[in-house]
Amino acid sequence: MVRTLEHNGVRWIDLLQPQPEELKELEGKFAFHHLLVEELRAPTYHPLAEFYGKYLFIILHFPQFAEATHRIHGIEIDFLITHEVLVTIRYEEFGDFESFWEEARQNPGRYLTKTPGHTFYFLVKRLFNRIFPELDEMGTTIHQVEKQIFQDFDESIIERIALVKRQILRFVRAMKPQRVVWNSLPGYALSFWGERMKPYFSDLVAEYERTMTLIETHHEVINSLHLTSSSLLDHRQNYVIKILTIFTAIILPLSLVASIYGMNLNYLPFATHDNAFWWFMGGMLIVTVLMLLYFHKRRKWL
């Protein structure tokens, strides 16, 4: 599908799931390199920025939260920018992109002015800004996880941490590889447009770095919480094992005595005495108390 917006000499062409004939027409109309056009037939999954002298070719990925699956995945947008036209190529629907397109269609005087580079700036700025609510929500979830760990620790928190880590890793996978691209774009913008576009691309780089700082902070915090929760869980398990070990140590001698007196032997000391049962029970009770005192006072286990 191909659609176009045009205002004040600036044109924006958007292709969704481009067909070979559409790409061929694009190549002929704007003299794009045929190898570049071939690359647009399918997603590449790798960010890229190349300067071809008469146009810029940029591949970016943006995290998108899917309401149906409650998962985050990266959506690729390819950009071809000349002095007269901005071409965007997408391979799947993107709600935030559609919102910006509709806003630009209704108010072209705001977004389609000066150069296609300005339109690129407004679009990418909007897509970056839409990431922050998701990151803020993730920060709230991390805060709740932290609170649960230190106030109401439960083994289920491990699964919750794993889910948050997976979401953060999806952000990292989509955004972190683009650092090299964003570091090179201000220089390309300077070569292509001169000084007038440098502040805009520098602002986009700042937006990217701000986004990555927040993502990396969330990543570090959730990793620390994972280590903390694992330590608390290990401590709880070690405590249970310690208690079971103490009970085993106490019961073992008592079981040994009980087993001996359960043997079918002709003679067992005190076995025929009238109060033998009470003597044995009292002896076992004394041994139990002494061992508990030993573990508590000498070994500090209880």
> What is the model's pLDDT at position 249?
74
> What is the model's pLDDT at position 207?
93
Angle at alpha carbon of residue 14, lines to 45 and 129, rounded to 5°: 65
> What is the model's pLDDT at position 43?
86
> What is the model's pLDDT at position 204?
93
Q: Which of 240, 252, 231, 251 lies closest to 301, judged by CA?
A: 240
> What is the model's pLDDT at position 212?
92
Query: Taking the domains of the chain in order of start, what are their residue ranges?
Result: 2-234, 238-297
Report residues of the chain scoring pLDDT below 50: none
2-234 and 238-297 in the same fold: no
pLDDT tens for 121-168 read 999 999 999 888 888 988 999 998 888 888 877 777 888 888 889 889
Can you give the pTM of this predicted structure?
Answer: 0.77
> What is the model's pLDDT at position 217?
93
Q: Return the CATH architecture of domain 238-297.
A: Up-down Bundle (1.20)
Options 1.10.10.10, 3.40.50.300, 3.30.1330.40, 3.30.460.20; CATH for 2-234 is 3.30.460.20
Do the beta carbons of residue 181 and residue 48 sit within 8 Å?
yes
Q: Please return the burial class of 80, using the count of CB atoms within 10 Å of its CB with bins 0-12, 13-18 and 19+.
A: buried
> What is the model's pLDDT at position 128?
92
